[in-house]
Structure 1
Amino acid sequence: MSNTLSALRRFGCAALLLALAGTVCAGPQHAITLYDEAPKYPANFKHFAWVNPDAPKGGILRLSGLNGFDSLNPFIPKGNSADQLGLIYDTLTYHSPDEPFTEYGLLAEKIEKAPDNSFVRFYLNPKARFNDGTPVTAEDVEFTFQTLVDKGDPMYRHYYADVDKVVVEDKQRVRFDFKHPGNRELPLILGQLQVLPKHWWATRDFAKSSLEPPLGSGPYRVSKVDPGRSIRYERVKDWWGKDLPVNRGYYNFDAINVDYYRDSSVALEAFKAGQFDFNLEYSAKDWATGYDSPALRAGKIVQENLVNHNPAGMQSFAFNIRRPVFQDRRVREAIAQLFDFEWTNKQLFFGSYKRTRSYFENSEMAATALPDADELKILEPLRGKIPDEVFTQVFAPPVSDGSGIIRDQKRRAYQLLTEAGFKIENDKMVGPDGKPLAFEFLTAQANLERIILPFKRNLAELGIDLQIRRVDVSQYINRLRSRDFDMVPATWAQSNSPGNEQMEFWHSRSADSPGSRNFIGLRDPAIDTLVEGLIRADSRKSLILHCRALDRVLQWGNYVVPNYYVDTWRVAYWTRLAHPETTSLYDFGMMTWWQKPGEAEVAPETDGAPAEQEAH
């Protein structure tokens, strides 16, 4: 008894009793991370490092949208919702764009995770209010979750499938219990929940598309709607969250207007004519030549490349290895040899792209060197089941001199095909089965043809027949879902913390699922093992090692023809706007920008009349 009392005095009654009960858990925290490592910012931080906390408030930000809208409900699978609707909602937590996967309190001022990740508890900020003055409560959180699962887009049911129940503990505490412990991602995923007002939706049908401005608790409210043409957001001057550390330096414009245009070409002309202020450019050709205008030459428009540290993932032409013709790795490698990236980049993209080589490109998770001792511990049990090159070579796509003459690559491709039993007959590459090597490239994008045609010519010079099949979007989606294709353009985007989505990309269980992104048709037990190990990783270091191991096995499988990527955000803006000197690692932070004091919005130029006529 005396030993017990001594222990109680030394460590504290509550802590010891919890330990004796076996239910020790970390107390409520201001931030949570994927692997329980310390967040970058302490509990008493004042603002994020990448913002200007003294940015002036005021002015108007004018943006563009494409193809119109007919709904203000982005949570249901009906209608085409307007852009920037996230501005009217607050989330339980704020996902830091400067850390791999860290979330700081927003609506929830504190977050508490079970040690085994079997539940997460959110402590709502008592100051949190919807924009009609009604407090945000735990009942609103429960209502939001149940409504999204029952009536929202089907993705929510998949996203939250491991949630067993939601428990309203009191007015400002809500707990999510999970069906299975050990799900590290789910507490952070739930933190991204945009909370809806239960009292407002009580008299409305959530499942119906609507153009009625919804109520939220965020920094802006919808003030004007012109269906399909424009939407206006106005800053909530008495917004409850304006002084929170996660919001300092954000949301500086008094109003944000979004005008809609028929296509990106029309929008670009409107931008140059001064009809909106900011443009994020995706086209290398337009970035190189499309912005030439009197305004640019007069220094009124700025073109700027901001460094983007987000993983680029894999952009590629993907083989469907369900097809017999692509089941030999040597055939896939031979075809990949004949895509001339250097010529394509020089002639079509003004040299603006880099070659993709990794499924986790532009990140520390990419396999760019031979495996070290720790990674070999993951790979060695799979020796003999994965390509031998994984252990001895660093994968790299072929490199040409950009002249368009690729003799070395053709020689290598011919060698591989010969080893696979192919031969030339009547100028055709013929396989061991006597059938010519021929396949179809399925696409719904007309602008891809200028990239595929040079590839087609290179293949034809080796007797390989590539047919380009362009179909409408609905047919393309149906053929993709039914796996009725030979080769398609495919992109696998990656986050800074890859996890459960990798099952849908590469695991055997997703090969026959019409909704999965296992376009390749992978059914490889070794890859399954690597994917499962990645998901079970219990530290950032372990995650990186598993990503690299998976990456190099996928690389040497030659399942795709790697394409290209860009590691910057290409932003163009009128000089009335300003932005912080630094940006976060993973976002250019449009909502941290501001209008320079004394600067009025730009009057549209008269030579922009054609764009104005074609707008919307």
Structure 2
Amino acid sequence: MRPDYFRPFRPLTAGIALLLGASFADAESRHAIAMYGAPALPPDFVSLPYANPDAPKGGRVVFGNTGGFDSLNPFAQKGTFPWQMPFWSYESLMGRSWDEPFTLYGLLAESVEVPPDRAWVEFTLREEARFSDGSPVTVEDVIWSYQTLGTEGHLRYRGFWSRIASIEATGPRSLRITFADEDRELAMLAGLRPILQKAQWEGRSLSEGNIHDIPIGTGPYVVSAYEPGRYVTFARNPDYWGADLGFRRGTMNFDEMRIDFFGDGTVLMEAFKAGELSAIREFNAQKWDSAYDFPAAQRGDVIKTEIAHGKPSGMTGFVINTRRAPFDDWRLREALLLAFNFEFINDTVTGGVMPRITSYFSGTDLAYRPGTASGREAELLAPFAADLPPGTLEGYALPQGDGTARNRTNLRRAAQFLEQAGFRIEQGQLLGPDGAPLALRFLLRQGDSDMQTVLEIYTRALERLGIAAQIEKVDNAQYTARVAELDFDLTPFRRDLSLSPGNEQRLYWGSHSAGQPGTRNLMGAASPAIDAMIDRMLAATTEDELTAATRALDRVLTAGRYVIPIWRFDVGRIAHIRQLRFPPNPPIYGDGPQYMPDVWWYQD
């Protein structure tokens, strides 16, 4: 539908009319939208390239989570919910293909329309789209969902709402969202908001209610049974509206999926070995090689599968809370990196077979290249040269240990940096510039045995520098609350990153949210250079521009020494019962909830 305000311009000159006509032609409705270039799949595609369109339906699977849950509302700010729930029970207007950097195909929407500058986006709903109770998905539901999630939903949904100038119906099944500022990715993000049923929440807030108030969604699965903190069972909706869509064909194949909850990873593993769970992901290469020789595996009833991927390493390690002095001093952070004997720790915990993360986008073309910045990267960083962390422009490499357990060479270098930062040793204690002993608190979730082993080795090294280090183990609820309140010195950290980085980068390390409770910027980065590189990424109109800006951002983040990186998950590792089958061609993003269980199936 074309807006009425263009009609008065029709009598203008032929040249202007032609320009307007060309603009409209560029904004024609399409079945898909890509961040850069054209979508890979045609309008009539049979299935996603990593799904088996002929996969049989049926079977029951059981997965395990550690911790617990006290909510079945993934959209409220309060409570802890099963993390899989948004993937299984809820849908958005568009769905993502994980075999392309960032391309969306119609899901609840049958088409999408954007102008060349992507200042707005218009969606047309599928007439057949239904909620799990059978009621139709309406434009009113969509507009209400955007507004409600953006004003009273979980914090992760609120930032997008502030970027919307207007949202309005343009027809019985269509709506247009106009954006408040220039950002080409906003049209993509608009297609990924979950859509909820307005009528369910009439007269009350989305955050109201108890565990029994489960939001109604449009997804293939509904909650069929649960016991708080112990299990949740999801049943495939036999009347699921989208079963015949190309985007859904060959996906969501199990009749029932159950999640059991365990106190820690050790108990969960024992449950898998006993046959109580259907599949488990293993993130430790040493355990992968040594811990899967139990009887069921020896009989062939359990199979080990490795899934390759081409995505960035992301960042895994221990994030440093730089809001707190003295962690705001890069020299202290460099000393902490030097004291972290990665080579010895990696050999102890993983058998030394997992490579170390070297930067946030390592393993892809988006990662900065070793050595001095040049070309477009250098141009982007030049205005900030005086304030960049040392090593940004010259090139920064993580410290390497000397191969010994005591790591004396790096500890001597760490002591030198500490001295430069104003620290001194007195009676075996490291005193800060203020004369107070330096004490570190590592916040750790109970049951995280691998990270506890890592920290036990690390704290011994810190003690040799005179640093008192304490590991604080707390339960899942306390951990979530303390991280949200930014109450930690260092804590385990993981950020998965995309081949098409965008607005999530502001959430992860943008300065606007650095001091807000609940922020995802856990390190407290507040750098004009970081903000500027993110802005450049979001303004990029070509892949070359995106690559240059991302490499520049990668330099600033890595040289900022905000995280002590550990190992990279170079392949996905899944151990599963032999009845679970999967297509032979994994997506470029490899394993994840979009792969297992989404495109797997049960077959005797």
Instruction: Report the TM range for the smaller structure's normalisation.
Output: 0.7 to 0.9
Aligned length, in residue pairs: 581
SS of 1:565's partner is: coil
The residue that corresponds to 1:466 in the other structure is 468
Do the aligned partners of residues 156 and 467 (structure 1) sit closer, same or farther apart at CA in structure 2, a change above 3 Å counting? same
> Structure 2: how far apart are the matches of 1:166 and 1:438?
52
* CA drift at 1:358: 0.7
The residue that corresponds to 1:604 in the other structure is none
SS of 2:387's partner is: coil
* CA drift at 1:397: 1.6
The residue that corresponds to 1:602 in the other structure is none
The residue that corresponds to 1:179 in the other structure is 180
C-alpha deviations, 1:475-533, integer Å up to 9, x for none? Answer: 76676566665444444443333333433444444443334344444444444433433
The residue that corresponds to 2:392 in the other structure is 390
Q: Which runs of 5+ in 1 are unaligned?
A: 1-7, 600-616
Do the aligned partners of residues 235 and 521 (structure 1) sit closer, same or farther apart at CA in structure 2, a change above 3 Å counting? closer
Does the Cα contact within 8 Å between 1:71 and 1:210 map onto a contact in 2? yes
* CA drift at 1:173: 0.8
Q: Which runs of 5+ in 2 are unaligned?
A: 1-9
The residue that corresponds to 1:453 in the other structure is 456
SS of 1:48's partner is: coil
> Structure 2: how far apart are the matches of 1:84 and 1:42?
30
Do the aligned partners of residues 121 and 350 (structure 1) sit closer, same or farther apart at CA in structure 2, a change above 3 Å counting? same
SS of 2:51's partner is: coil
Does the Cα contact within 8 Å between 1:424 and 1:430 map onto a contact in 2? yes
> Structure 2: how far apart are the matches of 1:86 and 1:505?
21
C-alpha deviations, 1:573-612, integer Å up to 9, x for none? Answer: 000111111111224312211112xx2xxxxxxxxxxxxx
Question: Percent of aligned pairs with the same residue?
Answer: 36
> Structure 2: how far apart are the matches of 1:168 and 1:546?
36
The equivalent position to 1:513 in structure 2, one of 511, 516, 535, is: 516
> Structure 2: how far apart are the matches of 1:78 and 1:127?
33
> Structure 2: how far apart are the matches of 1:486 and 1:27?
52
* CA drift at 1:293: 1.7
Do the aligned partners of residues 441 and 368 (structure 1) sit closer, same or farther apart at CA in structure 2, a change above 3 Å counting? farther
* CA drift at 1:266: 2.5
> Structure 2: how far apart are the matches of 1:109 and 1:544?
32
Do the aligned partners of residues 221 and 482 (structure 1) sit closer, same or farther apart at CA in structure 2, a change above 3 Å counting? closer
> Structure 2: how far apart are the matches of 1:218 and 1:72?
15
The equivalent position to 1:497 in structure 2, one of 500, 509, 513, is: 500
RMSD: 3.4
* CA drift at 1:280: 1.9
C-alpha deviations, 1:36-56, integer Å up to 9, x for none? Answer: x21122223222221112222
Q: What residue identity is the alignment partner of 1:583?
A: P
Does the Cα contact within 8 Å between 1:252 and 1:592 map onto a contact in 2? yes
> Structure 1: how far apart are the matches of 2:522 and 2:80?
26
* CA drift at 1:138: 1.6
1:572 aligns with 2:566: no
* CA drift at 1:248: 1.8
The residue that corresponds to 1:87 in the other structure is 88
Does the Cα contact within 8 Å between 1:439 and 1:486 map onto a contact in 2? no
SS of 1:29's partner is: coil
The residue that corresponds to 1:613 in the other structure is none
SS of 1:551's partner is: helix
The residue that corresponds to 2:554 in the other structure is 551
* CA drift at 1:148: 2.6
Higher CA-based Rg: 1
Do the aligned partners of residues 127 and 360 (structure 1) sit closer, same or farther apart at CA in structure 2, a change above 3 Å counting? same
The residue that corresponds to 1:373 in the other structure is 375
> Structure 2: how far apart are the matches of 1:148 and 1:519?
23
Q: Which segment is superposed worse, 25-34 or 101-110?
A: 25-34
Q: What residue identity is the alignment partner of 2:503?
A: N
SS of 2:175's partner is: strand
Q: Which segment is superposed worse, 164-173 or 216-225?
A: 216-225
Q: What residue identity is the alignment partner of 1:74?
A: P
> Structure 2: how far apart are the matches of 1:506 and 1:271?
37
The residue that corresponds to 1:164 in the other structure is 165
> Structure 2: how far apart are the matches of 1:531 and 1:581?
36
SS of 1:379's partner is: helix
* CA drift at 1:153: 2.6
* CA drift at 1:342: 1.0
> Structure 2: how far apart are the matches of 1:282 and 1:364?
24
> Structure 2: how far apart are the matches of 1:276 and 1:252?
18
Q: What residue identity is the alignment partner of 1:271?
A: F
> Structure 1: how far apart are the matches of 2:348 and 2:103?
41
1:56 aligns with 2:56: yes
The residue that corresponds to 1:562 in the other structure is 565
> Structure 2: how far apart are the matches of 1:232 and 1:323?
43
* 1:76-115 equivalence runs, <5 A: 76-82=76-82, 83-84=84-85, 86-115=87-116
> Structure 2: how far apart are the matches of 1:456 and 1:527?
31
> Structure 2: how far apart are the matches of 1:120 and 1:536?
17
* CA drift at 1:323: 4.9
TM-score by length of 2: 0.85
Does the Cα contact within 8 Å between 1:234 and 1:254 map onto a contact in 2? yes
* CA drift at 1:122: 0.5
The residue that corresponds to 1:593 in the other structure is 600
* 1:518-557 equivalence runs, <5 A: 518-557=521-560
> Structure 1: how far apart are the matches of 2:234 and 2:15?
49
* CA drift at 1:538: 3.0
